[in-house]
Structure 1
Amino acid sequence: MDSAAPWTFGVEPLAQTIEAAARLRQVTGLVLALERPDPAVDTLLAALEAAERALAGRVPADQAPRVGAAVDGDGRVYLDHSRHIGAFNAGFPEYEITVEGDRAEGTVNFPVAYEGPPGLVHGGFLALFFDAAIQHHNCDLGLAGKTAGLSLRYRRPTPLLTDLRFALTRSADGTRIRSTGQLLAGDVVLCEAEMDAVKGDRSRLPAVSPRRVIS
């Protein structure tokens, strides 16, 4: 196990951002399940339109992140993507993970928002899930890097709205970090993943701007 402190890069999300992600994910699933137009959706759309107008004037017009050469620029704040991205971005799956050295395990439940075939998870979201969870594992061990390759083998269809478990293993040598993962329903393997990442050098990470006080 690597003894370095957990790898982070970026700032923590706001508490409002975390709550918004959870609600947006849940509401998306409810809207997708509607049988007919509903006035509640009209209310939602009006509220979203009002929020869009209000927020547009409170965030930087330049949507490039304030990282590296742009750290002193006029762009947006960059949130830490090392772990739990789904907690603040509804486009990413949520999961629970426990890291024990070069092994990790956890649980995930994919909501309706990630549906592909009827009642099943879209395969692209499985790739996104494994990429996020494996790099989370790497970052918790203090040694991470850019994904160089990710391959999946779909063994069985993955059901929505079902508590699933996953297991990850990894090894690091030379300039590479190699990880494997399995997603399971009980003892049945649904999907297998292999990832190859290039070791990063923490001392060479670009600067990231902190949040700014807006007067």
Structure 2
Amino acid sequence: MGEGTPVRADDAKFGETPLAQTVAAAAAMRRLSSLLLSLEHPHPTVDAMLAKFGEWESELAAAAPTDSAPRIGEADDDPRRVYLNHATDIGAYNPSFPEYSFDSLDADRADGRVVFPLTYEGPPGLVHGGFIAVFFDCVIQHHSCVMGLSGKTRSLNVTFRRPTPLLTELRFDIVRAEVERGIASTARLLLGDEVLCLGEVNTLASQPDKLTGYRFGRRRKESAR
């Protein structure tokens, strides 16, 4: 990391913090999706869920913005949606992304843990390789954003050495370096001491205020909806 004090990603303007309800709902939807995928026969609870889905969708649609594009700027009459922070912890509020946790974050190194639930299955009992690529992109970008630099991904190369098991606590580590015109990071996903796969990512290096769309629209007061 170059000179200067790293900024926390939640202090920078990467987008709004997700609602606590959204975080709780994402975890519940991830758990329910895994349970649905495990069912071998129809279940009456699923029929009850399906009956409710249409009602819930109608109620939420009435409260949601009329334009699903992200809102940039602060115009009061802008019909677009608020943009949520995609720099860190995307899986905490969006069940389509893997959920993970960091144990340490330093300028040139980081490590943490991840468990892939059934929703990310590819081959029997194993993680789909595409989700591993998404996971590497998420944790490497998270690392850089917390250190105060971010940027578009130039390249992402994944090397698969061993199958990655579902429902198993795995470790990951990242080695990061600032290079000419960007950042080079190499991440490993491990089961114990065994390396399962490697992710090598090269990105641009930009201060948060230099990113396109830096002036994200902030969440409005409820009375202003």
Quote the RMSD (CA, aligned, Å). Answer: 1.6
Cα distance in 1 between the residues matched to 2:74 and 2:203: 24
Per-residue Cα deviation, 1:110-153 (whole angstroms, up to 9, x for no partner): 00000000000000000000000000000111111111110000
Q: Which residue of 2 aligns with 1:31?
A: 36
Q: What amino acid is aligned across from residue 5 of structure 1 in structure 2?
A: V
Listed as ranges, the gaps of 5+ residues in structure 2 are none
Listed as ranges, the gaps of 5+ residues in structure 1 are none
Per-residue Cα deviation, 1:34-68 (whole angstroms, up to 9, x for no partner): 01000011111222221101000101111000026
Cα distance in 2 between the residues matched to 1:85 and 1:165: 18
Measured after TM superposition, the shift of residue 70 of structure 1 is: 8.3
Question: Are 1:56 and 2:56 counterparts?
Answer: no
Equivalent residue runs for 1:191-206 within 5 Å = 191-205=197-211, 206=214
Q: 1:15 aligns with which of 12, 20, 23?
A: 20
Question: Are 1:43 and 2:51 counterparts?
Answer: no
Question: Are 1:101 and 2:103 counterparts?
Answer: no
Q: Which residue of 2 aligns with 1:144?
A: 150
Q: Which residue of 2 aligns with 1:207?
A: 215
Cα distance in 2 between the residues matched to 1:72 and 1:138: 34
Measured after TM superposition, the shift of residue 213 of structure 1 is: 2.5
Q: Is 1:168–1:179's contact at 8 Å kept on the other side of the alignment?
A: yes
Cα distance in 2 between the residues matched to 1:129 and 1:74: 32
Are residues 188 and 56 of structure 1, via their aligned partners in 2, closer, same or farther at CA, if it must alter by over 3 Å? same
Show structure 1 runs of 4+ deviating over 3 A. Answer: 68-72
Per-residue Cα deviation, 1:175-213 (whole angstroms, up to 9, x for no partner): 110000100101111010100000113332331111122
Q: Which residue of 2 aligns with 1:4?
A: 6
Equivalent residue runs for 1:82-93 within 5 Å = 82-93=87-98
Secondary structure of the structure 1 residue equivalent to 2:198: strand
How many residue pairs get aligned? The number is: 215
Q: What amino acid is aligned across from residue 19 of structure 1 in structure 2?
A: A
Q: What amino acid is aligned across from residue 28 of structure 2 in structure 1?
A: R
Cα distance in 2 between the residues matched to 1:95 and 1:210: 26
Q: Is 2:148–2:207's contact at 8 Å kept on the other side of the alignment?
A: no
Are residues 191 and 165 of structure 1, via their aligned partners in 2, closer, same or farther at CA, if it must alter by over 3 Å? same
Secondary structure of the structure 1 residue equivalent to 2:80: coil
Are residues 71 and 106 of structure 1, via their aligned partners in 2, closer, same or farther at CA, if it must alter by over 3 Å? farther
Cα distance in 2 between the residues matched to 1:150 and 1:124: 12
Cα distance in 1 between the residues matched to 2:166 and 2:155: 26
- TM-score normalized with structure 2 length: 0.91
Q: Is 1:110–1:121's contact at 8 Å kept on the other side of the alignment?
A: yes
Measured after TM superposition, the shift of residue 73 of structure 1 is: 2.5
Q: Is 2:74–2:218's contact at 8 Å kept on the other side of the alignment?
A: no
Cα distance in 2 between the residues matched to 1:160 and 1:58: 37
